[in-house]
Each structure stands twice: as C-alpha cells, then as structure tokens.
Amino acid sequence: MIFFEQNNGFRRMNKLIGLLIFFIWTNTSLAAVAEKVIIVNPLPKQQRVVYGVELLKNKLQKIGYMVSVVTANGKNNPANQQLILIDGSFKSNLKKEGFSIQSSKNITRISGADASGILYGCLELADQAAELKKLPALVNLQDAPEMVLRGECIGLQKPYYLPGRTVYEYPYTPQTFPWLYDKKLWIQVLDSMVHNRMNSLYLWNGHPFASLVKLKDYPYAVEVDDATFKKNEDIFRFLTTEADKRGIWVIQMFYNIIVSKPFAEKHGIKTQERERPIIPVIADYTQKSIAAFVEKYPNVGLMVCLGEAMEGVGQDDINWFTKTIIPGVKDGLKALGKTEEPPIVLRAHDTDAPAVMKAALPLYKNLYTEAKFNGEALTYDRPRGAWADLHQKLSKLGSVQIENVHILANLEPFRYGSADFIQRSVIGMHEVMGGNGLHLYPQASYWDWPYAADSVSGGNRLLQIERDWLWYKAWSRYAWKAKRDRAAEITYWNRNLAGQFGVSEADGGNILKSYEEMGEISPKLLRRFGITDGNRQTLNLGMLMTQLINPYRFGLFTLLYEAESPEGESLAEYADKEWNGKPHTGETPVQVIKEVKAHGDKAVAAIDAVTQVKKEKEEFTRLKNDAYSYRAMAYHFALKAEAALLVLKYKYSNDIKDLDRALPLLKESVKWYQQLVELTKGAYLYANSMQTGARKIPLSGSGGKYKNWYEVLPVFEKELSVFQHKIDSLKQVKPGLTQQVAPLPNARVKLAKEAEYYMIDSLAQPFTDTSFTIRSFAADLKGLRGLKTSFKQQIEKGTQITFINDRPVKILVGFLKPQKAAFTVDTTYLKQPELETNASANDYGQADTKIANAMIIPGLPQMHIHSYEFKPGTNTLKLAKGVALILGFVDSNVPLRIYDAGLYESGNRKQVDWLFE
C-alpha cells in the first residue's frame, strides 16, 4: 500500500513536470508567432471600412497575432512589427468594389475603389492569413467582382394563406414572422452574406408599406397595431444599418396592385383584383405609400413586380410604373430635400418590361431589370430561344440586367450542391443572357424561411443558411468570378468539403462527386418530362402517368421545352418519331432515362466511399440519405418514363403487347417510389413549401394535402392497379370480332314514364334543354335509340330511369371526362364508376370502360361508355348527380367491343389517358 502511494506520488510529480514543460514550450512557440500587427485605418468614419478592419483584426488575433488599430502611422516601427495600411483615398483605376493588396517586407497596403472595395480587401487578406496560419509574406493582388449585384432573397411569405387573405398578403407581425425580430439571426444572415461577398438582400412581400409607414391621408390603411409598428421600425432600421456596414443594399420588393386589407374594406374593394383597372384612389394611396417609405428609408431600394396582381401586359403597366411608382419615389426624395435617386428594380415578370423601361428611363435613371433565369426551377445552364432573347434585350437597355434563380421547385427539399452546374449556369448568365447581376433564392423551402424541411429529433429545425451553405457559397463565388479553372475548382471544393465534414481531401472529393451527380438528376428530369418550370409542380413528388403521356391536358408550359432546356424531344415527340421512322434530335427521353439512373448510382457510390467522418456527422447522415433519395427518385422516374413510351407506342400500334411490356416497368417504378417513401419518412416534414391550391402537379396541394411522399404513394399504387385492370379488360375481346364493326341492335324495353328518344346519328341532340349536337361517334353506336335527359336536372337531381324488360339487357351510359387533373372532383359531370371509392361500382358490371373516346359532341368533354346489365323484370337505373348520356338499351347476349375509338374534337391522334383512370 505504501509502495502504491509512493508510486502514485511519483506519477503525479512526473505529470506536473510534463505539464510545466508543455506550458513553457507552448508559450515559447506562441511568443515566436505572436508578432505585433498594427492596422492603420485613416477612414474611421467609413463604416464599411471599419467593419472590414475589425474582421481582419479578429481573424489575425485567432491565429496568434497581437493586433491594434490606429488612425495614423507612427514614424518608427519596431522590426518585429507588421503594418497593414488602409489607403486613405479611393482609387479610380479600380473597378467598382474592387481592391488591391500589395506587400513589401513587413508592410501590407490595402486599397479600394470604394469603401466596399477596402472591406473586400480586408476579407481577402484575412482569408489568406487564416489558411496559411500567418500573414502572407508576399502579396500582389488586384481583384473586383464581375457581377454588379450579387444578392440573396428572403420571402416574408408563408406556406399557407392567412385567414381572410389571399396570395402574397402577409403583414409584418411577430405572430406571422417571429424570426423577423430576431436580431441575432439577422447578424448571422448578414455575416454569411458578407463572407460570400454578396452585396444585396431582397425582401419579398405583397404589400409591405402598411406595416412600415403611416399616411396622413389614409390613417386607416395601417395593418398592424402601434406596438408592432414600433417593432417593425426598430428591426428595419437595425437591419438596414447592419447591412450597410457590410456593403449590403436592402431591397424591398412588392407586388402590384395590392392594397392593405383595412384600406380595401374602407373603400369596399378587394385587396387585389387582376382585372381591375387603375382607379384614382388606389393610385393615390400607392404613390403616397411609396413616398412615405422613401422618405423614411432613403437607402433602401425598391423592386417592383407589375404582374400577377394586375393585368400583366399593356398600357396600364406603363402608366402605373411611370405615373404612380416613379412619382412616389420622387415625392419621397423631395420631402427629404435629396436628388440622389435610390435604385428601382423592375421585375420582368408578366409584363412588357422593354416597353415599360423605354417609357421610364427618360423619367428616372437609376433603374435595373430582373428576370428569371430558368423560370421557377433549375433546368439548363444556357437557355435559348425567346427567353434568352428577352434577357439580351433587357441587358442592352443601358441598365443592369439581374438574373433571378427563382423558387427552385424542382430541387426542394433535397440538398443541392453541384458546383459544376452552378458555375456553368453563371457563365451562361453572362454569355447567353447578358446578365450582370444575381438574385438568388433559397435552395429549398422559400415559403418556410428561415427553416429547412428536414425533420430533426426533438422538434428542432435546421436553418437554411446553415444547411445549404454550399448553395450560397457556390453561386456567390461564381458571381464574383465565373470562369475559373475547373481542375482548380475541384481542388477548392474538395478542401472545403473535407474541412466541413472532417474528412480527408480524397473523401472531400467523394462528397463533391456525390453532390454533382445528384445535381444533374432533377434538372434533366424536369426539362425532359415536366409540365412546367413553375412551382405549381413539385418534381420530387413524381408525376402521374397521364401527365407524362398527355402533358397538354395539364397545362403544359411550352417555354420549358423551347427555351429552358437544350434542344431535344418530349416523350410524345420521341414516340411519334420512333413510330414514323424519323431521326431524333438533341436530348431524348431515352438518353435522360439512362443518364439519371447512372447519376443516381454514382451519387450513392461516391457517398458510400466516404469513411471516418469526424465533424457534422448528423448532417453527413442527412446528406447521404439525400443521395439515396435522389437515386430512388431517378429510378422511379426513369422506369415510369420507359413505361410511358410503351403506352405512347400503343397509340400507334394498337398492340396490347406494348401495354404488357409497360406493366412490369410501372410496377418497378412503384417499388422505387415505395423506397423513396421509406427514405423520406422521418427525414422530411414535407416535400414542398408551397402548400396551397396553387400547386397542381402531381396533385393539388389544396388544404395542405399531398405534400409528403407517403400521401402520393396510394395514388401511384391505384394508378398501377387501374392500368392492370384496363389491360385485362382489353384482352376480353374475342378473336375475330374486332374485325367486323356492326351496329349494336336496340333491345326492346318499356319505360315506366313517357320519355323522348333520340337516334344516335350526326346532328342528333341528346339533351332536352341544350343544343349540344352529336358530330361523330363510334360505328357500333349508329342507330341506337338513346333517351333524352335534362342537362340541368342531371346536375341538380341526378338520373333515374325505371323500365320493364323481358330479356337481359344492358344500358349504355356515356360518361363525360373533362380535361382536368386526375383525382379531382368535378361538379358538372357524373363520375365514372370507381371501385376504390364505391363498393357498389360493379353491381351491374359497370366498372369497366367499354368504348373509350366514343363520341364527339362539340363543347363537351371526351366521352367513355360503360354498360349496366339488368336481369328481366322491372328495373331502375339510378345515377348520382352529374351529366351523363343515356345512349340506349342492347341485349346482354350481344358482345360489346372494348376499345378506344380515338374520337377527338381537336382532330388529334387518340389519347390513352383512360388506361390509368
């Protein structure tokens, strides 16, 4: 025991001696490094310079320097002391926001074209010192940004509408936007922006003025209480002041024409009404609101959207901009006694921007234009056609054209970090679009800012600016300078990712590889298979087969294919060319099907190759899950698109074998979607942040529905079941019978009540109270005696027919299928029989479509025929509310051909949507 205690004592003694030696060695080493640095700043009144100097000072102190800041340089400087001299005069030979750094011996000089230039020079020197762990011995650098404006956007919007309000109407209140009043969060946002060399912050809102200014002539127009109004004043002053320190220009965006709700109620009008002409009281209110805002916040820019809430193209746009908005700004300047014009950005959305600018430039000089780069998505780095022409035209007006990376509906909610795609896009902005500014939306969850969609344990939320750091860093890096050597960029990003996750540089390369493979999937899928570039489509939730094979039915936005994609073919175009033996052009669906599967496989392989993650382990796990999710989505889409091509081929071949070949592909696509459901369940709160009825594809988001993959899966499973059932129905046709088309004979029945018949033929009218007239019909139907019904009464009361028959008969009923999104409720036309929602839907053998697209009645939707079979006796056909045609009675022993007659009023080739509905 004594020996043990003595031994322990020696151990403690040795440990103390070791610690002492380590302490002496550490301090000796630090003393060697801890040189003195004096930063001489002769511009103490320039807040941006002061801020830059402070950042440089803090960074140098972290790596061991003793730093002091003075306003003048002493005559004698010790040999072990380094000087950093801030040039006291701005240099006209440097580009705007440009800087130069030159060092000689122990003296480093930072010069700038302006205060922002010196700020960026300080940041550059700080970054170099942090990387080297010391001040660089020799620097001779001159740099400046290529893009004049480099900004990010924050939406003061919500995923849902506020009670009693509609789109874009969100007053600034702590209840709606608690984060708006979080000064710590704003500092984090602004610091991240200046770190990325961004110089503009866009705040998007429908009508912000009623939350920020009070008008003498319209005191009732304010939308917030006095306490909230004071909070808004405080946070807006704080934000604009802190932003200015960092060289960031705050720009308040607003839609036109929207007025405050109290104002609208006072005057008995709607807050917004697209068809409403400009009326004097609204113009006066808006002009005075803008004037008050400019007078109160003269250093805040304005961004004007003339579309959406007013008729988008026409003289009203020009008048509103030149006779209301610009005069409002000038009135505000006059009240201040200032002549320097604050910048106004005209958003080229739903308006004739060139015409508006032509009228406005003689009146106001400090104007910019802004337009979407790829619509509300990210699809292609070099847009073409009419869209590129518009951007070029705007860029040649003499003002700066800003390229807007907008909404990113095809990227959310998964992470996106393809530095390669982003770099190519910025180069395209310069070379193809003529753009010289960047307006960057959040990578995902714009409507839910500041939070990402990830589901995190404990109910916590990830911040977008933290989760999507790579998104912001990459866009801002290439906005500063686009054409950088690709090999050097790979090394740069490898090191960044290695540092982020605490992995080797090689594994940093694996992470970059995974990001870049993932980054090709959504752009290629949307531009080759999508309905729209807008946020009414959530790509990552998938698409219905009907949307793939017949996109025009769902409001195809053709600009997506004509301008925001490389030259290529849609599914329908490919199928048509393939059948007719025509050569294919550009990027084809078959090519994309192959490529997205390969991208998914490579993304997973690269992320799986990463070992020994030492930092941000939970975030790495989430990133890895995204890679697997992207692969599942890619395979789901690819297999479904392959199936769609075979279904489209069936339109030409009429060969059921094509449908047989499509079936296993569709089954496999559903299996991959099931995997996607499992990967996202518990990982994400939602797939899309816009959760209103404005979202339509693949399914309506009305009431917050269909925002998760597990909600959509049953729809895809039903789609598969219906398709399989329709194939089975088509196979019931007996050999040889389809070759002869004989009119169906009328069966003898006695109606319980007197009714009016019509004979199916051209010019026949099937309704008693409308003039709808049959133009053409399937040959089987010629001569059938149908029953006339009241169009109005069918909608209001439904249909009921009682009859007596002495032999088994079938009643042929024509169901009218409007060209609306699948799985939506129609209140005019009777819904076709559906077993999934109606257990009695086949009580009379009526579940199957007998003849699809069987008749053309101009003005009415496509018609599909079902049959109801009745045994001999007194029977009653009861149909729910909704319009349908009673086409006639036939004997049950007369075979009915099951086919698609392919009759369309438009004259288009037959469609095959009915196979899935």
Identify the pLDDT of residue 313.
Answer: 61
Could you tell me how far CA 562 lies from the centroid of its own chain? 19
As a three-state string, the secondary structure of 474-495 is HHHHHHHCCCCCHHHHHHHHHH
Global confidence as pTM = 0.80
pLDDT-based confidence at 589, cuts 50/70/90? very high
> CA-CA distance, 472 to 462, in Å (whole number)?
16
Identify the pLDDT of residue 212.
Answer: 97
CA 430 to each of CA 389, 406, 476: distance values in angstroms, whole numbers, following the listed order: 13, 17, 14
Q: pLDDT by residue (tens digit) across 455-482?
A: 998 889 999 999 999 999 999 999 999 9
Residue 902, judged by CB atoms within 10 A of its CB (0-12, 13-18, 19+), counts as middle
Identify the pLDDT of residue 58.
Answer: 96
> CA-CA distance, 675 to 634, in Å (whole number)?
12
Choice among 141-155, 657-671, 690-704 with the minimum mean pLDDT: 690-704
Q: pLDDT by residue (tens digit) across 121-144?
A: 999 999 999 999 999 989 999 999
Average pLDDT over residues 231-253: 96
Asked whether the predicted pLDDT for residue 25 surpasses 70, the reply is no
> CA-CA distance, 55 to 75, in Å (whole number)?
26
Round the average pLDDT of the chain to a whole number and report it. Answer: 90
Q: Is the separation of the CB atoms in 258 and 165 below 8 Å?
A: no
Asked whether the predicted pLDDT for residue 78 surpasses 90, the reply is no
> CA-CA distance, 690 to 447, in Å (whole number)?
6
Identify the pLDDT of residue 700.
Answer: 86
> CA-CA distance, 326 to 782, in Å (whole number)?
67
> CA-CA distance, 813 to 830, in Å (whole number)?
10
Average pLDDT over residues 339-363: 92
Residues 6+ apart with CB under 8 A from 845: 810, 867, 868, 869
Identify the pLDDT of residue 839.
Answer: 43
Identify the pLDDT of residue 555.
Answer: 72
Average pLDDT over residues 103-108: 89
Identify the pLDDT of residue 181.
Answer: 98
Identify the pLDDT of residue 835.
Answer: 42
- Please tell me whether residue 396 adopts helix, strand or coil conformation: coil
Average pLDDT over residues 824-839: 64
Average pLDDT over residues 625-633: 98
Of 545-554, 628-637, 789-798, 811-820, the range with the highest mean pLDDT is 628-637
In the block, tokens 């979407």 appear at: 372
Asked whether the predicted pLDDT for residue 483 surpasses 50, the reply is yes
Q: pLDDT by residue (tens digit) across 721-757?
A: 999 999 998 888 655 444 457 899 999 999 999 999 9
Residue 473 burial (CB count, 10 A): 19
Asked whether the predicted pLDDT for residue 169 surpasses 90, the reply is yes
> CA-CA distance, 264 to 280, in Å (whole number)?
14
> CA-CA distance, 917 to 912, in Å (whole number)?
10
Which of 630, 559, 572, 566 lies closest to 600 in space, CA to CA?
Answer: 630
Between 112 and 904, where is the model more confident? 112
Identify the pLDDT of residue 843.
Answer: 75
Identify the pLDDT of residue 418.
Answer: 98
CA 83 to each of CA 58, 62, 65, 68: distance values in angstroms, whole numbers, following the listed order: 16, 18, 12, 10
pLDDT-based confidence at 75, cuts 50/70/90? low
Identify the pLDDT of residue 311.
Answer: 63
Q: Which residues of 674-687 are buried (b: 16+ CB within 10 A; e: fewer)?
A: bbbbebbeebbbbb
Q: pLDDT by residue (tens digit) across 186-205?
A: 999 999 999 999 999 999 99
Asked whether the predicted pLDDT for residue 817 surpasses 80, the reply is yes
pLDDT-based confidence at 490, cuts 50/70/90? very high
pLDDT-based confidence at 545, cuts 50/70/90? very high
Q: Strand 884-891 and strand 809-817: pairing? A: antiparallel
pLDDT-based confidence at 23, cuts 50/70/90? very low
Q: pLDDT by residue (tens digit) across 766-810?
A: 999 999 999 999 999 999 999 999 999 999 989 999 999 999 999
Q: Is the separation of the CB atoms in 326 and 262 below 8 Å?
A: no
Identify the pLDDT of residue 770.
Answer: 95
Residue 455 burial (CB count, 10 A): 17
Asked whether the predicted pLDDT for residue 312 surpasses 70, the reply is no
> CA-CA distance, 234 to 867, in Å (whole number)?
70
Which structure tokens are listed for 284?
Answer: 């006066």
> CA-CA distance, 717 to 712, in Å (whole number)?
9
**Measured CA angle at 34 (ends 29, 37), to 5 deg:** 160
pLDDT-based confidence at 20, cuts 50/70/90? very low
